[in-house]
Homo-oligomer: A and B are copies of this chain.
Amino acid sequence: MDIDRIRAARARLNGQARRTPLLSSPFLDELAGRRVLVKPECLQHTGSFKFRGAWSALSALEPERRARGVIAFSSGNHAQGVALAARGHGTSAVIVMPSDAPRLKIENTRALGAEVVLYDRGREDRDEIGARLAEERGLTLVKPFDEPEVIAGQGTTGLEIAEDMMALGITRADVLVCCGGGGLTSGIALACEAEAPGLRVRPVEPEGFDDTARALATGEVTPNARLSGGLCDAIITPAPGKLTFPIMQRLCGPGLVVREEEALSAMAEAFLRLKLVAEPGGAVALAAALYHGEELEGDAVVVTISGGNVDPAIFAQALAARSNAG
């Protein structure tokens, strides 16, 4: 993995992925006690940064191989990213999802043109189903994060951050990244290393799912005790990836950990101050900037909002918590 791969991904994504802006609000600056620059990947196609990695991976395949189709395991943002990227390449996508995945997510993925294959979590083995389908049909697996072209695609986010920060004349800042398997975090870290070395990337995770923060602190990768169940489902993974962790270990500052209530409160601030819809997992970096300022350094901080695919009821819950707080 190196910067050239990210630059090549950017050329392939040009005109396909959205070039998202850096947003700000005087109210957030006031609340955080420093300048807050927000990279809203919720505005990316399919509502999350995952489209970048998916497009990067599909566009990097040999045309013949790509034409046979791709397969992914996901019930979330990666599924939609791969589905839309496949459609954009005129090829087919099979998405393997648990049969108890939210109906809306299944429908959305189908509406984007993908074939959804459901499996029973209790009785069937996801990997077996995937391997059989891939072999039968010659499909290529698109992994969610531990895959060079996916990391390269997510890293294009970092190239844009570096450019916009240079234009603002800000050369030193912490860059807080919502972190699951580390694809976005490691990609942005590589981009900043090359283009804006004064920007220090730091992963942000929800409490109870801080596998990356622990691994960065101890040097040892140990899985989270729980594997699911949090509100921040979009960024919950058992452990950082084999490719992503060494990159983060080399380049990232200490991880930050926020509580779910802080993520919900940050969602309400994004609603009020930026007019953006953030999902709980997508709001953890903003939460760290707003409520963990004492753990940050510098007069400015960059935060990613990694996605906005949130259930209306959970969004309403975030707004209600804010209203109750006055």
Interface residues of A (CB under 8 A from B): 18, 21, 23, 26-27, 30, 40, 42-43, 47, 84, 108, 111-112, 268, 271-272, 274-278, 308-309, 312-313, 315-316, 319-320, 322-323
Contacts and interface: CB of A to CB of B under 8 A. Distances in A.
Question: What number of copies of this chain does the assembly contain?
Answer: 2
A84 B320 CA distance: 28
Nearest to A317: B316
Given A271-B315, A277-B275, A21 B23 contact: no
A312 B324 CA distance: 11
B271 A43 contact: no
Contact of A43 (B23, B27, B112): B23
Contact of A111 (B27, B47, B275): B27
Nearest to A87: B26
Contact of A268 (B278, B312, B320): B312
A312 B308 contact: no
A266 B21 CA distance: 24
Contacts of A322: 312
16 contacts: A18-B21, A18-B23, A23-B43, A27-B111, A42-B275, A43-B274, A47-B275, A268-B312, A271-B312, A271-B315, A272-B312, A275-B277, A275-B278, A276-B277, A312-B323, A313-B319
